[in-house]
A = this chain, B = another copy of it.
Amino acid sequence: MFMKNLAVAQSGGPTAAINATLCGVIAEAAASGKIGRILGALHGIDGVIAGKFADLSGLAGNERDMKLLRQTPATALGSCRKKLPNLTSGGDEKVYADIFTNLAKENIGAFLYIGGNDSMDTVAKLTEYGKMISTGIKFIGVPKTIDNDLSGTDHTPGFGSAVKYLCTTVQEICRDSNVYDIESVTVIEIMGRDSGWLTASCSLLPERCGGKPQLIYLPEKTFYIEKFLSDVRSLHKSGEKTVIAAVSEGLRDEAGRYAAGRSLSGKRDVFGHEYLAGLGKYIEQEVTDKIGCKVRSIELNVCQRCSASLASKTDLDEAAGAGAAAVRAYLSGETGVMAAMERVSSEPYRIRYVTVPVSDVANKIKTFPKEWIIPAGNGIEKAAAEYFRPLIQGEENLICEDGLPLQITI
């Protein structure tokens, strides 16, 4: 029997676990005995459009390379940010023709796309187009995002490692902030434009270790700077000299504008550009102006999504599991679905892999549950810890050389 090949690609922002998913795809495809070559499209769907593929089949039998791939952060195959044109728009459909021509040329049986909202939109459109032209090629999505804002899955691969990085780092920043015996404010700006999952996870930090953020603000609630300042004043008044606030970059004011945007007004450089200050810098300035104590802001930035050195073993295992589940879904004849995780129980922690129609996932955002935000709007209910805790368990044993983690380049 002449076996079909498998194509896989990665898309959107990097995570620490997206290459573990690639490992899962490669291992499961090789083990099935039902798949020919495994081809990685370079730079997401752009690689399919341009016909740029790397043959990954050889990795399957190389245990060390597979381990290195698993511990390498960001997309080993490269990434892209591309939205395919709507099929109903009557627009240019050449891009679809290119994709299907190149998939056929490589004798592809299924295209697996590892990504977030936008990637699931791509999977949905390719499935639809494929039906229109009656191709047999299957399209399967595999979830990936540190934001955890994908519908249809209990959580997303990549999120657990981001939480582990975040909690580990914030715990260290809290120690750093607590060394001086003076009133101060530390503002930690955390990723999440539309949902507060990542910021909320800071609530997991134990009381035991000298300091955790006393204030947490998510984009799911309107942010009032005056309320923030009053929260800080209350804590100082109660004797807590060091106030630490975790804020989501996506906080919005009562008019629905990004709170960080307030700092833009009137400030332009010599070329007339508006100055792009971040939310943390904005709040820092407000504290300086209105409270006047020592204050600093810390923007955690891309390390949140690429810190493989602090990855969660549970997350990497699950990410690989999702990749394997996608391969099994293809082999059982499914298409237009995303491999997802369903939580069977939190204690003991158990998940199972399922598939959900990708059209139920694409372009939707799963926000943080409002019932897990305390009524005052500046903290997280203890109940959320049961959800977060299992996701950060276990440390990955990294292969190091000369004191630094080894990575692989494809």
> Residues 57-96 of chain A: 1 if any B CB is under 8 Å from the residue's CB, otherwise 0?
0000000000000001111001111000000000000000
With beta carbons under 8 angstroms apart, the residue of B167, B302, B401, B405 that contacts A176 is B302
Residues of chain B within 8 A (CB-CB) of A310 are 309-310
Interface size for A (C-beta < 8 A) is: 75
A175 to chain B, nearest CB (A): 4
A126 to chain B, nearest CB (A): 21
Q: Contacts A78-B181, A285-B273 given: A173-B402 contact, CB under 8 Å? A: no
**What's the Cα separation between A281 and B297 when bound, in Å?**
14
Q: Is the CB of A289 within 8 A of B303?
A: no
Q: Is the CB of A403 within 8 A of B407?
A: no
A252 located at the interface, meaning its Cβ lies under 8 Å from any Cβ of chain B in the complex: no
A277 located at the interface, meaning its Cβ lies under 8 Å from any Cβ of chain B in the complex: yes
Q: Is the CB of A299 within 8 A of B302?
A: no
**What's the Cα separation between A305 and B275 when bound, in Å?**
29
Residues of chain B within 8 A (CB-CB) of A296 are 302
A238 located at the interface, meaning its Cβ lies under 8 Å from any Cβ of chain B in the complex: no
- Stretch in A31-39, A191-199, A262-270, A358-366 touching the partner: A262-270
Q: Contacts A169-B303, A277-B275, A306-B176 given: A181-B400 contact, CB under 8 Å? A: no
Residues of chain B within 8 A (CB-CB) of A263 are 269
Report copies per complex: 2
With beta carbons under 8 angstroms apart, the residue of B43, B210, B266, B403 that contacts A393 is B403
Q: Contacts A269-B263, A400-B395 given: A210-B175 contact, CB under 8 Å? A: no
Residues of chain B within 8 A (CB-CB) of A273 are 285, 288-289
With beta carbons under 8 angstroms apart, the residue of B169, B173, B210, B402 that contacts A409 is B210
A46 located at the interface, meaning its Cβ lies under 8 Å from any Cβ of chain B in the complex: yes
Q: Is the CB of B269 within 8 A of A172?
A: no
Q: Is the CB of A75 within 8 A of B179?
A: yes
A281 to chain B, nearest CB (A): 8
Residues of chain B within 8 A (CB-CB) of A181 are 42-43, 46, 78, 80
A2 located at the interface, meaning its Cβ lies under 8 Å from any Cβ of chain B in the complex: no
> Which A386-410 residues have C-beta < 8 A from chain B?
389, 392-395, 398, 400-407, 409
A205 located at the interface, meaning its Cβ lies under 8 Å from any Cβ of chain B in the complex: yes
**What's the Cα separation between A309 and B312 when bound, in Å?**
13
> Which A258-284 residues have C-beta < 8 A from chain B?
263, 265-271, 273, 275-277, 281
19 contacts between A and B (CB under 8 A): A14-B175, A14-B179, A43-B181, A72-B175, A73-B175, A167-B403, A168-B404, A169-B309, A171-B407, A172-B307, A175-B306, A205-B404, A266-B269, A267-B268, A299-B301, A312-B403, A389-B402, A389-B403, A392-B404
